[in-house]
Amino acid sequence: MGNQLFGWSDDKQVVLDPELLDEAAGRLKQQAGGQQLVDQLRNALAPPGAFGQIDGGLGAQTRLVHVLTSLQAELAKVGLDMEDLAARTLAAREMAIQANADTTHAANSGVPHGAR
């Protein structure tokens, strides 16, 4: 499978290992409370100050935060666990960052994925 974090699907897409994703999401849930995880996800999707000091930037950020809040409310209506979604999304982000670092290392050193 190469790297322990991910594998490749038949159509050559990177696929994160689901068991490792579950474990990573579980660790995040233990480290942070539910609302804290949701806030971390919201801040990752719409970082405070991301629009800088440009004209209309504050209004754009306010609208984006409103969209994310509305999405959270709608998903809650259908029973989606926002803590779980946030934990899995943040865990996948961390796994992707690590996979990118491993790939960059392999490309720069000529070492196959996962071997260090």
pLDDT digits (tens, 9 = 90+) for 1-27: 344 555 656 666 667 778 888 888 888
pLDDT in tens, 95-114: 888 877 777 777 788 765 55
Q: Is residue 75 over pLDDT 80?
A: yes
Domains in the chain: boundaries: 6-108
Q: What is the pLDDT of residue 8?
A: 57
DSSP assignment string, 66-96:
HHHHHHHHHHHHTT--HHHHHHHHHHHHHHH
* pLDDT per residue as tens digits for the range 32-67: 877 898 888 888 887 877 787 788 888 888 888 889
Task: Return d(Cα 79, Cα 72) in angstroms, integer.
Answer: 11
Q: How many angstroms separate the CA atoms of 38 and 50, rounded?
A: 18
